[in-house]
Amino acid sequence: MSNEMKTRPLTPTEQKYTYAQSMQLEGQTGTIGHLRGDFATTGYGFYTTWFDTRPQWKSDEFKADLDTVINALREDKGLLHNRYDMSAFARHFPESAIKGNYCTEYGFRVDTEKHAFLLRCNPTKGDYNFYCYCYVKEWLNKHIQKAEQGIRFIDPQYKELFRIPDGGKVIVTTSWEEKREYPCRFIDEYHTEVGSNLYHICEFAERMQKNGVTYEPKSAEQTPQKTPKHKDLER
């Protein structure tokens, strides 16, 4: 592969961009679409399906870039040559490991001049073996850079209470002491996704106050249990 087009392990921050995003995040990050593929039962086949996200960004230049990247990764001993070479390739880069839902996956990034290709690989027989998410490079990089400031949580008077990293979680406690945790994503300085809902940070604060709900950051070691409901607290 040429010097301009290196394959490198994803940073921990980049790993979250190898999964399906909300429409809001797809727009912010310049998501063009993604390619899903597998190596068949033998481990030597190559079957792919393309999924459009923003077809208007699927230019001829992008199509040429995608072909170039995939063909380069398909070379002998390459990441996408076959399932066995994928496994061997990933072993050379232990820092590429991503803790998946039920197995370890591996993340890599390849850049061209205008596009970024983020791959999540799983060399397990019987599974889809890779997902390649394709982005407008400038937009993705800009979003990652902005998201480094973290997600602000404020009170209705705009006083900052705390920040969490993009992809971090908040614990929300209802007025009847039920605890729920929600993953959060950075949209911009004033908007965040909490679970599957998009909020202006002030709107979130006002809504929580109105409902008698408190919220706090979840630290890495916390594992909150759902609090059992007591009869006298039930509505």
* pLDDT by 10s per residue, the chain, length 235: 444 579 999 999 999 999 999 999 999 999 999 999 999 999 999 999 999 999 999 999 999 999 999 999 999 999 999 999 999 999 999 999 998 778 899 999 999 999 999 999 999 999 999 999 999 999 999 999 999 999 999 999 999 999 999 999 999 999 898 999 999 999 999 999 999 999 999 999 999 999 999 999 998 655 444 433 333 333 2
CB-based burial of residue 183 (10 Å sphere; 0-12 exposed, 13-18 middle, 19+ buried)? Answer: middle
Residue 32 shares a structural domain with residue 130: yes
Whole-prediction pTM: 0.86
Say yes or no: 69 and 95 in one domain. yes
- Terminus-to-terminus CA distance in the chain, angstroms? 63
Q: Same structural domain for residues 81 and 188?
A: no
Residues 110 and 193 reside in one and the same domain: no
pLDDT at 103: 87
Instruction: Give domain status of residue 2, yes or no.
Output: no
* d(C-alpha 37, C-alpha 116), whole Å: 18
Asked if residue 121 belongs to a domain, the reply is: yes
Domain annotation covers residue 229: no
- Considering the domain architecture, whether residues 125 and 40 belong to the same structural domain is answered as yes
Tokens at 8, concatenated: 């490198």
Q: State which amino acid sits at residue 183.
A: P
Q: Minimal CA–CA distance to 96: which of 33, 37, 14, 35?
A: 14
How far apart are alpha carbons 230 and 54 in whole angstroms? 48
Last residue of a domain, one of 114, 145, 176: 145
Do 90 and 60 reside in the same domain of the chain? yes
Could you tell me if residue 204 is inside a domain? yes
Q: What angle do CA 3, 56, 23 make, to 5 degrees?
A: 95
What pLDDT does residue 5 have? Answer: 77
Tell me which residue of 215, 216, 225, 223 sits closest to 175, measured CA to CA: 215
Neighbouring CB atoms inside 10 A of 171's CB total 16
**Chain centre distance of CA 141:** 14
Look at residues 194, 122, 201 and name the one whose alpha carbon lies nearest to residue 154.
201
Question: 191: alpha, beta or left, given left = phi > 0 and alpha = psi -120 to 50?
Answer: beta
Shared domain for 20 and 72, answered yes or no, is yes
Q: Is the domain of 86 the same as that of 12?
A: yes
Range(s) of the domain holding residue 157:
149-219
Based on the fold, state whether residues 138 and 24 are members of the same structural domain.
Answer: yes
> What is d(CA 200, CA 171) in angstroms, rounded to the nearest whole number?
18
- How many domains in the chain? 2
Residue 231, domain member (yes or no): no
Of 145, 165, 186, the last residue of a domain is 145
Q: Which of 95, 130, 145 is the last residue of a domain?
A: 145
List the Cα angle 44/116/110 in 5-degree steps: 50
Whether residues 172 and 119 share a domain: the answer is no
Backbone phi and psi for residue 7, each to the nearest 5 degrees, phi listed first: -100, 125
- In this structure, the answer to whether residues 141 and 154 fall within a common structural domain is no
Asked if 107 and 204 sit in the same domain, the reply is no
Is 212 within a domain? yes
Rg (CA), the chain: 21
Q: Evaluate whether 115 touches 137 at the Cβ level (below 8 Å).
A: yes
